[in-house]
Structure 1
Amino acid sequence: MNTSLVHDRLPVPAEFDVDLLVVGGGINGAGIARDAAGRGLRVLLCEQDDLASHTSSASTKLIHGGLRYLEYYQFALVRKSLREREVLLESAPHLIHPLRFVMPHAPHLRPVWMIRLGLYLYDHLARRRHLAGSATLDLRRHVAGEALQPGFRRGFAYSDGWVDDARLVALVAKDAAERGATVLTRTRCCELQRERGGWRAQLQGAHARTLTAHAVVNASGPWVAQFLQQVAQRPAAHEIRLVRGSHIVVPRLFAHDFAYVFQGEDRRIVFALPYEGEFSLIGTTEVDVAGDPADVHIAAAEVDYLCALANRYFQRQLTAADVVSSYSGVRPLLRDDAASASAVTRDYVLELDSEVPLLSVFGGKITTFRRLAEEAVDLLCTRLNISYPAWTAHACLPGGDMAGADFDHFEYGLAQHYPWLEAALRRRYARAYGSRVSRLLEQVRSAVDLGEEVLPGLYQVEIDYLRREEWVTCAEDLLWRRSKLGLHLPPDAAERLDAWMARKPT
């Protein structure tokens, strides 16, 4: 994939410090910063916390079309998502990979003909280049049936993609930075004033400053309306509905690599996914919330709900005591007339201020972030009277430039090049960094050169790389967002890592 662009002089007024200020370091903000920087715009992104600290690290980790959205006749959204699924699978084959889903059939919830029709549409609404089509399964003979209650005899299989969501945000932001964008974490935009056809912004936090920008993007997710009203002093044309989605992590419920999709008596869909080798991930719930979107935690009723639904399908029965970890995030969904949170659209709206260049992002989902970013920057380029073309549809993310997008072949090559690297560590590096493993291990010639093993499986060379290259400033950034090592380490791991980092300043 071509990842280089050459631009002439920008026809944007030079009196502004930057052409574009992006507020929000979730997937949409990072995607817009990347797209704009790749077109030659001078971009600065600020995020009040770490990258992907909130909604963008609390998803079900799926790159998918949204099979259940067909039930609400959202065919355009599903088609758009399916097309993006293919683009993303090619852009980061180390980070995004195919996942086969099994749907046990509960006859009293949906008839066979309805499921088959839905899967036929899912197979054919967009072209598939990397994923197998749907199929009917005999669960009495299929390996996925072994973990299920014996009453489930028939099932259906289909394909989607899996992604480490927080790591995806980091790589998108990294690509933006390598194309010229400035990325500031722990930095909040607290004041925005119109000035000479643009904006004067006051930033607070780790990188406090005042700057001027010709255009601003409000990609603050659950805070989008609040930012407009309190910081930009502008009314919001759209309302959002804040919905908490919670997930639980339990010891592995099945030994194979298939995922499951279940339906409850309330007709909600819940997934059970293989997770981090030793675990299963179950979610999500959908609960309307109010208050601070940063202060969200799973409720006991949500844990009970997820355990109860899993127990209807799996032979192994779960209780709250089996939950080893959980996470919750707030989705900023476009408010519509839907009675239930499940039925609210996952599509997005881009609101561009007609007086000054201020674009706000309402709604959206992780699968469509690239398309959303492309549309947003197209709108801004029109508003700024520049005509640089879209480019991200055929560009790899950092580490994704593998020949033929074949991860297994790539990992085999790593084994030949680094025979001294322990297999589990090599596989983790391959998944996290892709072709950037060579940059991570640039000065490493043997296991000794990895440096101090600060925590089990975490060496100094990786800590230094993430602090230098990916905006890591504390243990939580590294253990839960740049990786999921926190699941595998002792309870005091974060404290120990923070203490080590304090002794080893960058």
Structure 2
Amino acid sequence: MDRGYDLLVIGGGINGTGIARDAAGRGLTVLLCERGDLAEFTSSASTKLIHGGLRYLEYYEFRLVREALAERERLLRLAPHIIWPLRFVLPHDEGLRPAWMLRAGLFLYDHLARLRTLPGSTSVRLRTSDFGAPLQDRLTRGFVYSDCWVEDSRLVVLNAMDARSRGAEIRTRTGVASARREGDAWVATLRDEAAGTAQTVRAKAVVNAAGPWVGQTLGATLGIESRAAVRLIKGSHIVVRKLYDGAQAYILQQPDKRIVFAIPYERDFTLVGTTDVPYAAEPGPVAISPEETDYLCACINRSFRRRIGPEDVVWSYSGVRPLFDDAAADASAVTRDYVLDVSDRDGTLPVLSVFGGKITTYRRLAEHAVAKLAPYFPGLAPAWTGEAALPGGAMANADFDAYLRDLEAERPSLPADLVRRLARAYGTLAREVLGQAVSLSDLGEGFDGGLTRAEVDYLRAREWARTSEDILWRRSKLGLHTSPEGAARLRAYLERAAEAAA
């Protein structure tokens, strides 16, 4: 007999996992299907910021900015291991936005945050400040404000883990081949992408959180004509060797009125991005173009003393963002707000499709999505995610530094860099990764970058990791610190582990 669920969620990015978590916590039986790995596409290709979106004020997106700033404060409390504050330096560039406009925007940005724990904005003389040391002499004044960093793909995984702990079933590498309303249920055919086998399941409602494939999923998979339009925008980032010392990030104005970030990344690197390029091809894996690389290098070279070129890029990544099409002429002006579209059959068997959104507001999006489904599920429990820590985030007073000191004191013989990385990645769950280990040898075979067999086994057992790419580029960014030999050893170990489990 076909397995029955209340909710079938299509898509394992930040919106899909967020909705699955919220719904499972309200008492619904949930199945989430992702045809690849969690966060394999758009959700791991962000600029990795939890932020209000300072530039959205230029487009009068006041509601979005206010909501995003409120979520910034909330998420910082609920996941202090993978989210932490950053100070951003905004140089004033003569001939671009005037200083009064920047000052007014930052004043509004500060005051749209109703509850603010991060430092507010201030002006800075770049010639006499350490913040100005990496910048060219022509940049003499600027502003400093606060936002937050996030490990984006880990945020997705933590939502999936919490959804599972509340009863949801999470199936990666499982596509939804088709789904149709039949009788009193959605009947969906699932395809195991690895085994090539199929299974049929039933659900009372469907959530289409397929990201760039949201339109295709509505039409080809669900057989429904879309009432909303999606606009695909490609965004690319480059990673170069560290451009400057210090923990601050930079937000750089450009002559085309776009902004580009330069952010400290993985200790030894600087992350630069993003581009905004209209994308008309079929959604799927994408790569940075030479033109995008040149553009990002030119953005750095306009402001920093150190010049870079394509030969300095050690890694790049790209993703396609599925934005709600508001008919804006400029790709960078397209709204980052979200639209939730519900289609049903005579008040039953709804499908909710997610258009747009940004990683900062994913929790509110999920809350709103489940609220829209509430009329179809009488007796649904109330909203709850606003005060519930994500896995690993339940630290006293959300104080990561205090937690890290305790963990280091517990394991004095382990390398401090390793303990800190594990604390950042897993929070309070780092103790599960470490087990009873008191020395590095207790953690088993090493694969470069501090990755050990104990951590790999944890990722396979708890976080749906199957391939070396899952581990080196999504569950972590250890690929930047891993030699080809270390990656080959990891692949060989995963192959042996998979054979042993078969």
TM-score (norm 1): 0.95
Question: 1:500, 1:74 → 2: CA distance?
Answer: 49
Q: Does structure 1 residue 72 correspond to structure 2 residue 62?
A: no
Contact 2:7 2:206 in 1 (8 A): yes
Q: 1:334: which partner in 2? A: 324
- Measure the CA separation in 2 of the matches of 1:145 and 1:477: 38
What whole-Å deviation, never above 9, does each CA across 1:197-252 have from its counterpart, x for those lacking one? Answer: 32001000247421001111000000001000001000011111100000000000
Instruction: Return the letter of the residue paired with 2:326.
Output: D
> Is residue 455–residue 497 contact of structure 1 (8 Å, CA) maintained in 2?
no
> Cα–Cα, structure 1 residues 424 and 366, in superposed 2: closer, same or farther, change >3 Å?
same
Check the 8 A contact 1:101/1:260 in 2, yes or no: yes
Alpha-carbon distance in 1 for matches of 2:62, 2:94: 25
Q: 1:156 aligns with which of 143, 146, 152?
A: 143
Distance 1:128 1:322 in 2: 41
Aligned partner of 1:452: which letter?
A: E
Distance in 1 between residues matched to 2:374 and 2:437, nearest whole Å: 44
Separation in 1, partners of 2:198, 2:129: 58
Unpaired segments of 5 or more residues in structure 2? none
What is residue 18 of structure 1 aligned with on the other side?
5
CA contact (8 A) 1:16 1:214 kept: no
The alpha carbon displacement at 1:495 in A equals: 3.2
Gaps of 5+ in 1: 1-13
Letter in 2 for 1:396: A
Letter in 1 for 2:217: F
- Alignment partner of 1:241 out of 213, 231, 247: 231
Deviation at 1:141, TM superposition (A): 1.6
1:159 partner SS: strand
Alignment partner of 1:136 is 2:123: yes
The partner residue of 1:348 within 309, 334, 338 is 338
Q: Which amino acid aligns with 1:150?
A: D
- Do structure 1's residue 86 and structure 2's residue 73 form an aligned pair? yes
Give the TM-score normalised by structure 2: 0.96
Q: How does 1:157-236 map to 2 (within 5 A)?
A: 157-205=144-192, 206=194, 208-236=198-226
Conservation of the 8 A alpha-carbon contact between 1:91 and 1:394: yes
CA deviation string 1:440-499 (max 9, x = no partner) = 122324332211113341111000000000000010000000000001111354333111
Distance across 1 between alignment mates of 2:449 and 2:388: 35
Identity of aligned residues (%): 57
AA partner of residue 494 (structure 2): M
Rounded to whole Å, the distance in 1 between the matches of 2:5 and 2:229 is 29
The question of 1:57 aligning with 2:47 is answered no
CA contact (8 A) 1:187 1:208 kept: no
The change in CA–CA distance for 1:287 and 1:492 in structure 2 (over 3 A counts) is farther
**Larger deviation: 453-462 or 87-96?**
453-462
Q: Which residue of 1 aligns with 2:476?
A: 483
Contact in 2 for aligned 1:334/1:362 (Cα 8 Å): yes
1:378 pairs with 2:371: yes
Deviates further, 123-132 or 233-242: 123-132
Give the Cα–Cα distance (whole angstroms) in 2 for the partners of residues 302 and 295 of structure 1.
16
Instruction: Tell me the matched-pair count.
Output: 493
How many angstroms apart in 2 are the aligned matches of 1:398 and 1:411? 16
Native 8 Å contact 1:149 1:314 kept in 2: yes
Q: CA shift at 1:151, angstroms?
A: 1.0
Match of 2:259 among 269, 278, 284: 269
Which of 413, 422, 443 is the aligned partner of 1:450?
A: 443
